[in-house]
Amino acid sequence: MRASAAAIFLYGFAGAATSPYQSLIAIRELGMSDRAYAVLAFASSLAYVSMAVAVGMISDRFQSYRRPLIFVSCFGILGYGMVWAIPSVMTFALATLLPLALFHSTNSMLFGNVRAHAAVFDAEEARISDALMRMMISLSWVVMPGAVGFLLAGRQSMLAAYLIAALAAAAILLVVTFWLEPDSGPKAVVTEGHGASAVVQDLRLVFAPRLLVRVLGVALISQMLHINGAVLPLIVTGSAGGQPEDVGVLVGIVAVIEVVFMLFWARMTRNFAITHALMICAMLYLGYLGAIAVATAPWQVYLASLVAGFAAAGMISLPISYLLDLIRDRPGLSASLIAVNMFLGGGLGAGMFALGTALSGYGLAAVMSGIAGCFGAATLVMLEGKRR
């Protein structure tokens, strides 16, 4: 569990070093258009979910997480290193679609490993362990975005962020190889059958309509975070009149607030349903997105980010426990639902980004995203209410 937490922390380092600046690098440094960036975001999400589901199925089938983690962590070094060493639109697109899409399955695989070894926990303990593991990612976001922003302040290029991420991926490889012990926890229950029939059974579990409609509801909530990641740096350095280093500071502030309130939201689920908590978070985040959409000065974005951190703490941690409980006896496959959620959230976010920017601009994309997220939360409340 400690090794998984360390690896998740380092995975957060890699994401925190690059994600806040990804749209800036792609659109403003490399010359990619808004529409091309949206298409790439959708395609990379499709590649990511396909690889994550495949790795999750293999992990459950062979009841092993360490070896697949060693394999996928190598591609983080390759993908981030490619973008840094050979900066171009073509390299950025290839790295995002192939090695980095596979590397990002590290996230769901680590949560699957944790859930497999937390089988002896009760429901509340399992939710708290999920929140603690997700908190490790947020802890890395407390320091890394601001540190990268200040380190690269005044430079003409932010591409060195990808070199930092490649080093973080190398550290993950070392942790998984030399610290993560061979699988010895409670074994997953695997489906009967072999070869193609087993694959079909697994896919039926993942893409069952009853399950997919719930994943879609979560994805509508998650796409708000995707949209924020895309529009925040563009709004801050555009209509709000800020600097690139403001982006890193803002992301770090939000991450601090997330760390403080993640356990708060996990504890709150003792008193009311996860879906109701997600509804509250989505409504608060809609308010935040509306505020940055009309921001004309950096201080306005800083003020709105206080609400964003509180709401995002629940939007990040609670869906993980909700998704992992949908297929309880298959840790790897249930963890792949995190990837399915990321795919749907990324795809929906890419669509919102493309539509909003085509109709008006980044502000409209943010508001449309917030409204869709509240609709997704309301859908989950309705579905779970009917089930009870």
Q: For residue 185, is it within any domain? A: no
User: How far is residue 57's CA from residue 331's CA, in Å, rounded to a whole number?
Assistant: 10
**pLDDT, tens digit, for every residue of 29-50?**
898 988 898 888 878 878 888 8
For the cut 90, the answer to whether the pLDDT of residue 272 exceeds it is no
Q: Considering only CA atoms, which of 284, 282, 287, 278 is closest in space to residue 367?
A: 287
In eight-state DSSP terms, residue 121 is S
User: Range of 144's domain?
Assistant: 2-180+192-387
User: How far is residue 332's CA from residue 61's CA, in Å, rounded to a whole number?
Assistant: 9
Q: Considering only CA atoms, which of 263, 267, 273 is closest in space to residue 131?
A: 263
Quote the number of domains for the chain.
Answer: 1
What integer pLDDT is reported at residue 374 of this predicted model? 95
User: How far is residue 90's CA from residue 96's CA, in Å, rounded to a whole number?
Assistant: 10
For the cut 80, the answer to whether the pLDDT of residue 126 exceeds it is no
Q: Given CA atoms 372, 378, 382, 383 in this order, what sign does their dihedral have?
A: positive
Q: For residue 50, is it within any domain? A: yes
Q: For residue 280, is it within any domain? A: yes
Task: Identify the CATH number of the domain in which residue 31 sits.
Answer: 1.20.1250.20
What integer pLDDT is reported at residue 188 of this predicted model? 46
Least confident range from 159-168, 257-266, 374-383: namely 257-266
Q: For residue 187, is it within any domain? A: no
Mean pLDDT confidence for 338-347: 82
Q: For residue 249, is it within any domain? A: yes
Structure token pair of residue 36: 């091309």
Q: Given CA atoms 267, 270, 276, 278 in this order, what sign does their dihedral have?
A: positive
CB-based contact 201:367 (threshold 8 Å) = no
Q: Considering only CA atoms, which of 151, 131, 178, 159 is closest in space to residue 22?
A: 159
**pLDDT, tens digit, for every residue of 283-304?**
999 999 999 999 889 899 999 9
Q: For residue 186, is it within any domain? A: no
Q: What is the dihedral of CA 147, 148, 151, 155, to 10 degrees?
A: -150
